[in-house]
Chain A
Amino acid sequence: MRPFYSEPHVFIHPAAATEKGISDGDSIRVFNDIGEVTVRAKLSNNVARDMVVMYEAWFPYLSYNVQNVVDDCRSDMGAMKTGAPGAAILDQFVDIQKVG
């Protein structure tokens, strides 16, 4: 997939980016209590002002993994449906900060 998606992005609403002093293409630290990832910012009005979006994907030679900021809480119906608790992958609260 490298020729098509060479690196991961975090999609940020332009107004939210302005508030944080972030411009398109800046290196951004996305973090919460679970962990953090560093990705390039892509400003887009396709996301709401109080949301950021990161795609789940694999990128060679990069440490990026969206799971680093996802809290694997137990799913409520996993045991009944599959026999094992399973993880409920939900939206997460994160903060963003420009790097450097």
Chain B
Amino acid sequence: MRYAFLLDMDKCIGCRGCAMACKNYYNLEPEMVWRQVYPLADSIYPHSGRAFLSLSCNHCDNPVCVTACPTASYSKRPDGIVTHNMETCIGCQNCVRSCPYGAPRYNRVLGKAQKCGMCWERLDAGLLPACVLGCVTGALQIINLENFAETGTVQYPAGYPVMKKISPSTRFILPKMPQLTGVKQ
């Protein structure tokens, strides 16, 4: 098993349901988010404001947070999930500065870093992550990279940092431009 997120950008409507479900489930402080939704720039997707990147932790193959943390608070599970241990975190923010995807965020109230753990406690119990459940269009899914057919998906969509050594596990289906049907063009 190698857990990863799959985002079908053709289905995503940018409702922030995934991010809000995450925030609700973990009772995050008002300013704190573990998942955020970013509209694509017009230069990337010309149908203005109609395509989005919903991003949290990418649970990378070679996570920099694991190597950057001085207290070994991060670990990569055999099933691919990168977890963070709040008990041993000293709030130095090395992970916040190192992650090119901005996944770990500093919680000012607790004085510690936090990030998405792909709801590992839910996955272990046979449940889906909160964000996946919160997605109304089915755009956000969990896949197993070990038997996932990558055809038609990309690892680095435009607007998403290319980090080959780190190799993020998230996969994307690119958005298509809408077509007018029944209209002669």
Q: Is B33's beta carbon under 8 Å from chain A?
A: yes
Complex Cα–Cα for A4 and B16 (A): 7
Complex Cα–Cα for A26 and B47 (A): 22
Q: Is A100's beta carbon under 8 Å from chain B?
A: no
A63 neighbours in B (Cβ, 8 Å) = none
A3 neighbours in B (Cβ, 8 Å) = 19, 23, 30-33, 36
* Chain B interface residue number, banded: 10 to 19
Q: Contact: A4 with B20, CB < 8 Å?
A: yes
B23 neighbours in A (Cβ, 8 Å) = 3
Q: Contact: A46 with B19, CB < 8 Å?
A: no
Complex Cα–Cα for A5 and B16 (A): 9
Q: Contact: B16 with A1, CB < 8 Å?
A: yes
Could you mark each residue 54-87 of chain A with 1 if its beta carbon is under 8 Å from any beta carbon of chain B, else 0?
0000000000000000000000000000000000
Q: Is B136's beta carbon under 8 Å from chain A?
A: no
Cβ distance B47 to chain A, nearest Cβ, rounded Å: 8
- Of residues 1 to 36 in A, which have CB atoms within 8 Å of B's CB atoms? 1-5
- Of residues 34 to 48 in B, which have CB atoms within 8 Å of A's CB atoms? 36-37, 47-48
Q: Contact: B49 with A44, CB < 8 Å?
A: yes
Q: Is A92's beta carbon under 8 Å from chain B?
A: no
Q: How many A-B contacts are there with CB distance less than 8 Å?
A: 25
* Chain A interface residue number, banded: under 10
Q: Contact: B19 with A4, CB < 8 Å?
A: yes
- Given known A1-B16, A4-B16, A4-B20, contact A44–B31 (CB-CB < 8 A): no
Q: Contact: B16 with A46, CB < 8 Å?
A: no
- Of residues 1 to 41 in B, which have CB atoms within 8 Å of A's CB atoms? 16, 19-20, 23, 30-33, 36-37
A1 neighbours in B (Cβ, 8 Å) = 16, 20
Q: Which residue of B lies closest to A11 (CB)?
A: B49
Q: Which residue of A lies closest to B33 (CB)?
A: A3
Could you mark each residue 52-75 of chain B with 1 if its beta carbon is under 8 Å from any beta carbon of chain A, else 0?
000000000000000000000000
B36 neighbours in A (Cβ, 8 Å) = 3-4
Cross-chain pairs A/B with CB under 8 angstroms, 11 sampled? A1-B20, A2-B30, A2-B31, A3-B23, A3-B33, A4-B20, A5-B16, A45-B48, A46-B47, A46-B49, A46-B50
Q: Show the binding face of B for A, using Cβ within 8 Å.
A: 16, 19-20, 23, 30-33, 36-37, 47-50
Q: Show the binding face of A for B, using Cβ within 8 Å.
A: 1-5, 44-46
The 6 closest A-B pairs by CB, nearest first: A4-B16, A3-B33, A44-B48, A45-B48, A4-B19, A44-B49
